[in-house]
Amino acid sequence: MTMHRPAEILLVEDDPNDVELTLRALRNANSSLCVEVARDGEEALDYLLRRGQWRDRSADHFPSFVLLDLKLPKIDGLQVLRQIKTATATAPIPIVVLTSSGEHRDIAESYRLGANSYVQKPVDITEFRSTIRAIADYWLNVSQPSHPLPKPRPERSGAWPA
């Protein structure tokens, strides 16, 4: 992997369609956002905890927030949440649980494990877009980030992760 510009959002989602649609919505909200995508819990943890393939990621950088789907292969989303929130380095990172489930126990468990927000993915595309916009707007602009991003370099590559 080439050197990425530090991502402002970590999207943890395994369904490619959902990834596509979410990225589209995020782009729609703010075209200049840098989003890192992890396709499963392990990747997400690798990224955040700087292990595995992300061993060499710069340590002083963390995404402004994480969009976490619960239905993930390998490590279950709630597990990921727990691990993120229990590791001292990553605990402060805001986690927004973005999942299709509206089950009360998922909501309760998520908050118990320390999720900062729980959003049920709306089916309606319009609603989805406005929801994503609202989330990004809030956590990027309204809420103070736990780890401020380093100042962006003047050059920007417009490459999007495939």
Partner 1 sequence: MRPALRLYSIRQKLTAMNMLVSGAALLLACTAFASYELRTFRESIVRNISIQAQIAGANSASALVFNDPEAARVTLSALSAAPYILSAGIYTEQGDQFATWSRTPQTNEVPVRQEPISSAETHVFTSDRLILVRVVQFQNKKLGIVRIESDLAEIKDRLFGFAGIVLAVLLMSLLAAFAFSSIFQKTTARPIAQLAETARVVSRDKAYDVRAPLTTNAAEIVVLIRAFNQMLEQIELRDTALKAAREELEIRVIKRTAQLEAVNRELESFTYSVAHDLRAPLRHIQGFIDALMEDAAPNLTPQAHTYLSRIIESTRRMDQLISDLLALAQVGRQELNLKITDLTPLVQNVVRDLALEAGDRHIDWRIGKLPVVPCDPGLMKLVFQNLLANSMKYTRPRDPAIIEVGQTPSNGEQVIFVRDNGVGFNMKYAHKLFGVFERLHRREDFEGTGVGLATVQRIIHKHGGKIWAEAEVDRGATFYIVIGTTLEPAPAGTIPALANSESA
Take residue 4 and report the two structure tokens written for it: 């990425």
Positions that interact with partner 1 (CB under 8 A): 15, 17-18, 20-21, 24, 71, 99-103, 121-126, 128
- Tokens 């900062």 correspond to 116
Nearer to partner 1, 103 or 137 (CB): 103
Q: What stretch of H or E contains 97?
A: strand 95-99
* CB of residue 95 to partner 1, shortest distance in Å: 19
The rounded distance, in Å, linking the Cα atoms of 67 and 97 is: 6
Cβ 113 to partner 1 shortest distance, Å: 18
Cβ at position 101, least distance to partner 1 in Å: 5
Q: How far is the CB of 63 from partner 1 (least distance, A)?
A: 23
| Residues 25, 131: Cα–Cα separation, whole Å | 9
Residue 65 or 128 having the CB closest to partner 1: 128
Contacts (Cβ under 8 Å, ≥6 apart) of 54: 46, 47
Of 56 and 124, the one with the shorter C-beta distance to partner 1 is: 124
